Amino acid sequence: MKKILLGTTGLVGAAFMFAGVAVAETPKVTVGGFADFQAGYISDDSDANERSHGFRNDTEVIINVDGKSEGGLEYGAEIALEADVSGDTDNEGVNASRTFIYTGGQWGRIEWGSNVGAEQALKVDASNFAAATGGIDGDWYRFALSDGNNSTNGAIIRPRLAMAHGGLSGNGFQAEDTINATKITYYTPRYAGFQAGISYTPDSQVRGQGVNSRNASTNLLADNDGGYENVFSGGLHWEGNFDQVGLALAATGEIGDNELAAQQDLETWQIGGNVTYAGFIFGASYGDYTDTIADGDYWTTGLGYDFGAFGTSITYLDSETNLAEFNNLVLGVDYKLAPGFTPYAEVSMFEAEDNGANLDNDGTVVLVGTQLAF
């Protein structure tokens, strides 16, 4: 019965999506991207074999394909190519960080491929408006924690749910090898300020050309590698205005099964809101890792202000799990010097403590950089 229902649903969806497939014009291809250079300085308690400063590049070339059929079907693809002289340090992919196809119309939008899920796209918190590199969800950690300091084992260091956070043990929190796991996502149209989205990911460890396999003699991933399977994630987002006050609210979450029976399943959720008035924006959120490898929760708050080309923000994250405690205060400023050309500066002050080994690491990261978006 379940297979019949899924098959019927697929046929109905296909009828809606591909009605009127006659193409009105050739799909339009646009090329964009960004080039980001950063200079960072770090001073922390865990400075053994650590250089106090360094430079970093981050460059992507993004190809968008967009078309529309005579019947009104919107369709296309996005390919975000990694374009640095080294491999991607976040482990998003060797060649690309995102590759997906989409279709859309009055009925909503569907995305197929390796991309962020609806829970990440719809979330609302203080990082949404953070200046410079993104405040509490920015690039500070690339300089501060690149040595895999043990005090952050199992710590929630970014305001993200587990699939977008990238792991909670060892150096895994830096990786983003599950944020773009291959999935299908559906977004509803926005109605009366509301929009919902839901994603389905068969295997959190599979992306790109990878597939599931129990055959250990192949290069394909096994079905018992310790990742999450049958992950459903999504959220509900609302935004509106009351006179001169803007408001955005969201509730997001994810559930899934661990492939190993002895390991905990996946269950996380977050609620958040932002309020804007006269150039100011205030935000806050609360997240809970109810049932994961590290049970815990986190909360964020922040304040931002934009006036003309200048923007500034102060954001704060505080988290605690059964493995570690962490907090971070980030002040950022940026200035749109010319179209697409934005210099910025950011100061991050963090504290981390491993609850098991009693390891502490307090530090400050100063970032100065320039991003060129094209």
pLDDT mean over 4-9:
38
Predicted confidence band at 172 (pLDDT cuts at 50, 70, 90)?
very low
Q: Which residue type sits at 367?
A: L
Percent of the chain with pLDDT over 90: 61
- Alpha-carbon distance of 350 to 140, in angstroms, equals 10
Helix (H) or strand (E) segment spanning residue 61: strand 53-68
pLDDT mean over 296-318:
96
Q: Which of 275, 254, 256 is nearest to 265 (CA)?
A: 256
pLDDT mean over 292-311:
91
Give φ, ψ of 141 to 5 degrees.
-70, -20
Higher pLDDT, 184 or 324: 184
Domain 30-373: state its class.
mainly beta
Percent of the chain with pLDDT over 70: 80
Beta bridge partners of 253: 234, 269
Higher pLDDT, 19 or 206: 206
Lowest mean pLDDT among 58-62, 164-168, 180-184: 164-168
Highest mean pLDDT range out of 167-171, 172-176, 350-354? 350-354
pLDDT mean over 8-12:
40
- What residue spans define the domains of the chain? 30-373
Tokens of 146: 């690149």
Lowest mean pLDDT among 43-47, 64-68, 238-242, 335-339: 43-47
- Alpha-carbon distance of 269 to 25, in angstroms, equals 42
pLDDT for 353 equals: 87
pLDDT for 183 equals: 96
Whether 166 shows a pLDDT value over 80: the answer reads: no
Give the 3-state DSSP-derived string for 240-289, with helices as H, strands as E and coil as C: EEECCEEEEEEEEEEEEEECCCCCCCEEEEEEEEEEEECCEEEEEEEEEE
